[in-house]
Structures are given as structure tokens and as C-alpha cells.
Amino acid sequence: MAAQMCTECNYPCLTRGRPPVGCGHCKQVMYCSSKCRDDDQKRHAFVCDPYMVFVATSPRPSQFHKLALLLPADKDEPQFVWVELEQNHNFETADLKDLLGSDYARSLEGTISNYLRASNLDMQRFRLDHDINFHFRECCAAEGEVSNQCIAKITDSETPCKGPMLFTTCPKMVHGCLAHNYEDFRVSDFRVLVEFLKFFGPIAQRGGKDHQAVKGKPIDGVAISCLGDRILFDEPILTRFRVSRDHFIFRPICAARIPTPLTSALGYGLRLWLQSNEYHHLTPEQDHVIHNDPHYSQVPDLEYLTMIIDPHNASWGHVYQPILTKPSKAVLVRENWSAITPFQLEGLIAYCRDVVTVAVKQLMRETEFATPDLKIRCREALKEQYMCYGTFMEFFRAYEACQETWTPPFLLDAPSPVTPESS
């Protein structure tokens, strides 16, 4: 078990030969000596009573709520709040609209760990075994936004920070991957927050725009259910999937040896996360199906997006199989981290399936006995005609207008790339 760290100096509490000293009121902080307790007393007073009152009067609404600390802009005392978490199998997303305002969709966020390493030497002594996330609105530096009175009082100085700020807690990053399950905010972390806010002020004044350590706002992705989950649990094929902007779990939809994925050529480059799922409360029959059906984890819709389109590649026209494990879902986000909706992805899959794949198979039949040079010329012509943003958007506008009865209007009567002149 890890040693209890002093809230004030962050050294192990027992290294000085004396028993640790704690707060007898909230019992949430420990110190290595009476001196450290006295040094932190003024800071701890900001959260000690509010914490005790909150936990006594506001029971946890559900197991999907976690404790967080809110620093309101128009009040001079911190507030403990319950943050509701949206459950996406083994992934959690915090709903912060009611706490940060309706424009939270344009918010910024990051982890304090990034700033502890970059700040002054006095701050670098803090070694947290978890991550503290901070969330604030992107408009925090806009004119007319209220300066944060709470931060000004806590830091005992004028602050450029504007708008509310929220702090949540999650497990530490492991093996380069950020954890996406929240924990209750720890009262003992308030000591670190005070120093962090002093360092953070100049960044907040600029709106965080020039600091690359800020991870960025949550974005909308799409989850594709595997065949088994659709049949066994009646899950929809495509569902909205809000994710953090996490550069560690998502990777390009095709391997690096595939230079240009089809989706990138269509202007919708995608990143992929194959999400494994831990199933709970299964019946013996369900467990048998999941572990014994070889087709259970297949995601055929994903294959249409991974066609190899390099005309010189020997595997041209074939799909790249990105599934190496048995995921429950394939989660897709835009390569540029902008939002993508289930309808947009549905249209993208439909175009790759009903237009590009059909055209490619037709060309394969027509050029089966053609020379290699002719095959390459025909492939390049097809790529220019169908594997481009303009043609896809022509399709998507028609698909959006009449998705129930749509058929590929410009494919049915399109001339073959293999013309008499080229043959």
C-alpha cells in the first residue's frame, strides 16, 4: 500500500518518525507535522466546512454521480457538486452543461499533471497517483464575462480567470492511455489546486488557445455495434458516442502502410478505436453465444470504409481488415477532431458500399484480362470520378433528401472507365 502523503509538502507522513496529523473535522487530509497542518490551515478552511455540509445534506443521487469541485464566478466560496456520468460501456462522459453553462460544448479542459511538470520548481514536488481534470468555458477570456471571484479569494490576488471552473478526478494515465472512468474529487487535492490556479491565470487570460497541453473539448463520434450485439442485445447499428479528445486510444482507420484510406479521399478521414467490452450479468445461453459464435464480433460496416485505393497497389479494391481482436464496438471520430453524426457516418458507409464498391467490382470484371498499364489507368480514372469529396457530397445531398428511396443516380448510367479509345 502506498504511503500516505502529506497534503501540504507532499512527503510521506511517517518519514519524520511522528504519527501523521489530520483534520479532526472532515478527516479527509493528513499532514506529516503540526507545522504543515498550520501552514495549510487557511487553504483547507475553504473546503472543510463546505465538504462536511454537502455530504451531510446532499446524498449521492445514483452510482453514476461523482463528487466534483466547482469554483463559481459570482461567489467567493468553492462548491461541491455531483456530476452525472453518461455510461458508454466501459467509457464515461461527464455531463457539465448545467454546471458550466449552455456553451459548454465549446469548453476547454485538461489535466493538472501537464501543468505541474511545466510550472515552477515548488510545484514540481507534487506527485499525484491520480489525475485532476479542469474544465472551463472557451469564452472565459471574452469581454463581459465575469471575473472569477472565488479564484481571486482563494489565491488572494487579482486574477484574469473569468467564468466558472470545475475540477473532477480520474485514475492516472496507464501505459500511455488516459483513463475514462471518474472518481470522487479528493478534499486533499485542494492544496494542489491553489498553486495550480496561480500558474494557470495567464493561460486563462488568453483563453487557453496557445497552450497545447489543453486536451480540448469533448467531441461527437459514432459507435458501430458488432453483429452479435445487434442480434443478442438488440443494439442499434450506429449510435452517438461522445468522447474526450484523446490522442492515445484512437488511431487512423487503416494501417500506416495504407497511404490514403478511402474515407480520407472522400474528405471524411476517420480515426478508429476498437473497444473491447466486459459483459456482465449474462445468462449461460448468452455467454455461450458470445464465446462460441465466430461471427459474433464482426463489424462488416467498417470494412466498406477501409478499401485500398492506391491504383498501383496489388490489393487495390480490397478491404483492409483492421480488426485484430474481438471488440464489442468500433468507435469512429473525425481525423480532424470535428464532430460526426450517426447519419453522416451512415451516408458515408452507404456511399462506400453502394457506389464505390459496386463501381470497383464492375471495373475488376471489365479489366480482368487487361494489361497492367491499362488496369492502372482505369483505376486512376475511377478514383478521380468516385473517390473524391465532390462526388461524395453530390451523393450525400441526394441521400439526405430521400434516404428511404435513394438509388445511386449517377452510377447507373455512368460510362465505364474502360472506353474503346483506352482499350
For residues 76-80, average pLDDT: 91
Greater model confidence, 336 or 270: 270
pLDDT tens digits along 174-187: 433 344 578 899 99
Residues 6 or more apart whose CB falls under 8 angstroms from that of 17 comprise none
- pLDDT of 330: 83
In sequence order, the β-bridge partners of residue 242 are 220
The answer to whether residues 212 and 335 touch, using CB atoms and an 8 Å cutoff, is no
> What pLDDT was estimated at residue 289?
81
pTM of full prediction above 0.85: no
The rounded distance, in Å, linking the Cα atoms of 214 and 208 is: 7
pLDDT of 173 reads: 54
Task: Pick from 22-36, 245-259, 273-287, 348-362 the range whose average pLDDT is largest.
Answer: 348-362
Burial class (CB in 10 A: 0-12, 13-18, 19+), 423: exposed
Report how far apart, in Å, the C-alpha atoms of 83 and of each of 65, 93, 184, 267 are: 5, 10, 9, 37
More confident residue, 23 or 405: 23
d(CA 291, CA 276): 13
Arithmetic mean of pLDDT over the chain: 75
